[in-house]
Amino acid sequence: MNPDLNYRNGMSLGWRLCFILSLFATIPRLIFVWDSLFDPDNFGSGILDICIQFIISFEFSWIFVYICLQNTYKIPSWFNSQKSWVQFLLLSVLFFSMNEILFQLKLALDNDNSDMLIFRVVYYLYHILLLLAILGFRNFLLTTQENHQIGLENEQLKREQLKAQLEALQNQLNPHFLFNALNILNISIATNPDLAQRIVLDLSDILRYNLKVQNQSLILLKDELNAAKAYLDLYTARFGEKMAFCFLETDTQRQWYIIPLSLQILIENAIKHNVITSNQVLMIELRLNEQDKHIVVTNSVNKKLNSPGTGIGLQNLDKRYKIQTGQKPVLTEDEQHFTVKVPLIEAP
């Protein structure tokens, strides 16, 4: 939601809150002047007393509601740019100054100034209660704002997750991918039955894994690694010695989690954007770094001149990690290597 719209909605609620608080603050005063309302000689002064009390309470409430709204929605202002302790000091000075000014004004307009000490104490108590109600209103706004933000992030995460799943399925089920896999399978059936069987198993594992993670926001690292290995096996069956991969230090006893299809997206990115020939072998390395809580994916760089794609897969992965974990994959690149450090997530 637009921040300006949030602020306007808050203002609308603020006006209503001030009106309600002013009514409640006026009720005790109404009790004191109740008898005068039925006295023709004092009727006017009784009504004036109630109106003065209502206006003073409304004015006090609105000033603090206005400051509260400005602070809650981070509206640029001199007050909001100050440190927290300065803001607290300024609000304290404003509270006591306003109370004293309004109190003196009330005395000047009131005919009965007896029991001034009690009147002053009660007057301050009124405004302390009003201030507590306004602080409660601020907490309500903050909670509502946080819940709304969480809801937006959850919806965005679902959309990004769905995009990633659709992109992965498109990569695996597009005619080009299937043609290559089936073509290699057809050749291997007669020449290398073991390879043909492995291709069928790898393809089955990949499709099964994608169905498994459709409704999952996190997956065990070992399951993601197994799916990545099956994915790489299919491509090495296609490219032969033109492509190689290795998994280093990936055996672990800890229950690490990862966002589904993270490794597959990085592998697909490496294959899509690099030349793969006998003279330019594509090397992909996956290394587990438990100390820094990363799985590191590195590929050699032999970039295509007209590389397809716009990096949507990497952008999507970046957004999903940022929304779900507050972290982001770290990308580094030089003339020889492209490296991505994917954050690991401890058991949820």
pLDDT of residue 173: 46
According to DSSP, residue 344 is labeled: P
Q: Is residue 165 part of a domain?
A: no
- pLDDT, tens digit (0-9, with 9 covering 90-100), for 70-113: 777 777 777 777 788 887 888 788 888 877 777 776 666 665 55
State yes or no: pLDDT of 52 exceeds 80. Answer: no
- The pTM is what? 0.53
Both 243 and 202 in one domain: the answer is yes
Both 196 and 298 in one domain: the answer is yes
Residue, of 242 and 172, whose pLDDT is higher: 242
Both 105 and 199 in one domain: the answer is no
Both 218 and 142 in one domain: the answer is no
Half-sphere exposure (Cβ direction) of 157: Cα atoms closer than 13 Å: 19
* Helical H segments across the chain, by residue range: 3-32, 43-72, 84-109, 116-173, 175-191, 193-212, 221-239, 262-273, 312-325
Both 99 and 204 in one domain: the answer is no
pLDDT averaged over the chain?
Answer: 78
Q: What CATH number does the domain containing 315 carry? A: 3.30.565.10
User: What is the Cα 150 distance to its own chain's centre?
Assistant: 6
Both 142 and 244 in one domain: the answer is no
- pLDDT, tens digit (0-9, with 9 covering 90-100), for 242-285: 999 999 988 888 889 998 888 988 988 888 888 888 888 999 99
Number of structural domains in the chain: 2
Q: Is residue 169 part of a domain?
A: no
